[in-house]
Structure 1
């Protein structure tokens, strides 16, 4: 619940500073968290909140790509500003070398030998990497290590 408290404190600070972009982004995050709580009918742990934040960043990155391909740089800039706010609440991202080392360790730990074992490897990696690396890139690394 520490992450939720950090979000609430940041929301109060943004209100006092009259920072509309930051406040709007934090309110959207709080809304997404509340919606997840309503859907699951239980309060979310920090890991669950982290998953919501990660999903929000991914959605915004997809939006940025679409806006840039359509020539709408003004909308892309707004999404990038929201990503910057959300990333303040995510843990430090892992370097490529750290991700590669974690993938190799997970492959060894699970004894994975083929692509059929990819689910086992991803199951071990996801709790370690959630919110700290792009899971799509991690998936590609796992495929490269298993083939």
Structure 2
């Protein structure tokens, strides 16, 4: 089932359960998917594009959460955290640090990287290979750690 259909079903469930946080989060996701479809002018939206939307939305909420915590606005921070958890349910399972390290070691071997000079080659391959399984920041940090 496509992400859009899954989101629509989840919206119906959230409405039945009167879960306002989930409903707001899911409507935001649906809005972003519809916006992407409009921009694509009728072309099908790929799973990679859907995952990218979800990751971007989670990153936005994580940034907002950190700002609210820094400003001692815990009431708003909790809302952002709850929305993040709702959106994360629709992402593929994220790699653990150990799994990420193993995958990146494999990629480093494949591209023949030896030092930080090869960071771009490794990041390009890793970003495509691990899309949806880990966020870009974690990938970047692990690549830098392994290449240095």
TM-score w.r.t. the length of structure 2 is 0.91
The 2-side partners of 1:81 and 1:55 are apart by: 16
Equivalent residues of 2:127, 2:139 under 8 A apart: no
1:62 pairs with 2:63:
yes
3-state secondary structure, aligned to 2:95:
coil
Which residue of structure 1 lines up, in the alignment, with residue 21 of structure 2?
21
Aligned-pair CA distance for 1:16: 2.1
Equivalent residues of 2:48, 2:132 under 8 A apart: no
Equivalent residues of 2:123, 2:140 under 8 A apart: yes
What are the within-5 Å matches in structure 2 for residues 1-147 of structure 1? 2-41=2-41, 42-147=43-148
Gaps of 5+ in 2: none
Gaps of 5+ in 1: none
Aligned-pair CA distance for 1:142: 0.8
The 2-side partners of 1:6 and 1:114 are apart by: 43
More displaced stretch, 61-70 vs 33-42 = 33-42
Equivalent residues of 1:4, 1:46 under 8 A apart: no
Aligned-pair CA distance for 1:40: 3.4
CA deviations 1:6-49 (Å, max 9, x no partner) are 11111121122222211111000111111122233333111110
CA RMSD of aligned residues (A): 1.5
3-state secondary structure, aligned to 1:93:
coil
TM-score w.r.t. the length of structure 1 is 0.91
